[in-house]
Amino acid sequence: MLPVAILAGGLATRLRPITEEIPKSLIEVAREPFICHQLEYLRNQGIRSVVLCIGFLGEMIQEVVGDGSRWDMHVSYSPDGPVLLGTGGALRQALPLLGEHFFILYGDSYLPIDFSDVEKTYSASGKKGLMTVLKNQNRWDKSNVEFDAGQITEYNKTVIRPQMHYIDYGLGILQKTVLQAYPARQSFDLSKVYNDLSLAGELAGFEVFERFYEIGSHQGIADTQAYLLEKTVKGSL
């Protein structure tokens, strides 16, 4: 399985004052810091290598997660440094720790999805990147992805078109060379990378049919906690 880069360096301003004292990844959900749930489920997917892109209060995540041996995996860290680099800049900085191809997962997402199916689809596509998508119809947020026949025709966070019925599900795969084309140690957003790839015809799509869970909002935390607690109960039966 490909390594996974987890983007966990943001300020999480929507969750203040909680995130003034701890990073979003350490918010307690279903009796554990959220990052612990993420790593457990990655381990169960067969993932053995994780790179955590950290920023504000990132040393607190390192103290909790350590080297990843608790989950039988290797966890390394790529800090932003004195200036927050944004999601794209953080990934660009982490490239020395990642392979030629790697998964990208947001630090606030819990996704009921089979990583191996996504990896196979990416390999078969011959594209430089892949985005998982959900037919959203503006339910969770503004739909901003045009998807057809296994390809993202356009992903655009700023210019929304009527034919955009899908949304970024939260798991992607990129080829290392894609990010090498962007400047090092500068702040930029991953959405720019995905937009550029989609317009170049180089972004494959993988459609998902089950909703995603996230802890980027108070309602999201409540929904994610209910989902994880239900999973725990079912697993103990």
Nearest to 75 by CA among 94, 89, 56: 94
> Can you tell me the mean pLDDT for 63-69?
96
pLDDT at site 5: 98
pLDDT at site 169: 93
> Can you tell me the mean pLDDT for 206-227?
91
What integer best gives the mean pLDDT of the chain?
91
DSSP class of residue 31 equals: T
How far is it, in rounded angstroms, from Cα 178 to Cα 133? 20
pLDDT at site 11: 63
High-pLDDT (> 70) share of the chain, %: 92
Which residue matches tokens 């490909």?
2
Q: Tell which wins on pLDDT, 9 or 101.
A: 101
In total, how many domains does the chain have?
1
Query: What is the chain's alpha carbon radius of gyration, rounded to the nearest angstrom?
Result: 17
Lowest-pLDDT range of 11-15, 28-32, 75-79, 117-121? 11-15
pLDDT at site 234: 60
CATH of the domain at 208: 3.90.550.10
Tell me the per-residue pLDDT of 3-27, one tens digit each, with 9 for 90 and over.
Answer: 999 999 776 666 676 667 788 899 9
Phi-psi region of 170 (alpha: psi -120 to 50; beta: other; left: phi over 0): left
Tell me the per-residue pLDDT of 145-199, one tens digit each, with 9 for 90 and over.
Answer: 999 889 999 999 899 888 899 999 999 999 999 999 999 999 999 999 999 999 9
pLDDT at site 194: 97
pLDDT at site 86: 92
pLDDT at 64 over 90: yes
Asked whether 233 and 31 are in contact (CB, 8 A), the reply is no
Domain that holds residue 59: 4-236
The predicted model scores a pTM of 0.93
pLDDT at site 235: 53
- The distance from CA 105 to its chain's CA centroid, rounded to whole angstroms, is 2
